[in-house]
Amino acid sequence: IASGQTPIVVDWDYLNLGYIKEFPSARIAVAVPTDGVYGAYYCQAINATAPHPWAARLWQEFLYSDVGQLLWLKGFSHPARFADMTKRKVIPAALLRGLPTPALYDKVRFANAGQLAAARAKIATEWPKIIG
């Protein structure tokens, strides 16, 4: 990516946006499709046997607070509460300027477990045929 040998990369938006910052001399542009926008969730959990479960709960509360969600955005990742925060206008303009327009994410879709399993099976079958 940094050298330009990879002219097109299909990757998560937050990774591609990070490449712009990481490789400033490379000519990188990020395009988010206007249709077919997909997403995936990262999971947060509290271990049932956590030595300090209340501290873990406080950590979760922080991650999902406006302040915590803004930290995700600083890393170019769209947090779970992005639409809500955009609607309430609590995201600093300077931070929004470094991201694709929020309207692109209005129609984001998430695959269900069955769709993910079918995709994994198809890739496992087809990948060797294509790559060799």
State pLDDT tens for residues 13-60: 999 999 999 999 988 899 988 888 888 878 888 888 989 999 999 999
* 67, 121: one domain: yes
Contacts 24+ apart (CB under 8 A), 96-103: 98/17, 99/17, 99/73, 100/13, 100/30, 100/32
* 2, 63: one domain: no
Number of domains, the chain: 2
pLDDT value for 59: 93
* 72, 8: one domain: no
* 58, 115: one domain: yes
* Euclidean distance between CA atoms 93 and 31, whole angstroms: 20
Pick from 40, 123, 24: nearest CA to 80: 40
Range of the domain at 117: 35-131
* 68, 124: one domain: yes
The pLDDT-based confidence of 107 (bands split at 50, 70, 90) is confident
pLDDT value for 18: 94
Q: What is the mean pLDDT of residues 108-113?
A: 91
**2 has a pLDDT exceeding 90:** no
Q: pLDDT tens for residues 59-81?
A: 999 999 999 999 999 999 989 99
pLDDT value for 5: 84
Collapsing DSSP states into helix, strand and coil, what is residue 39? Answer: strand
pLDDT value for 111: 92
pLDDT value for 104: 87
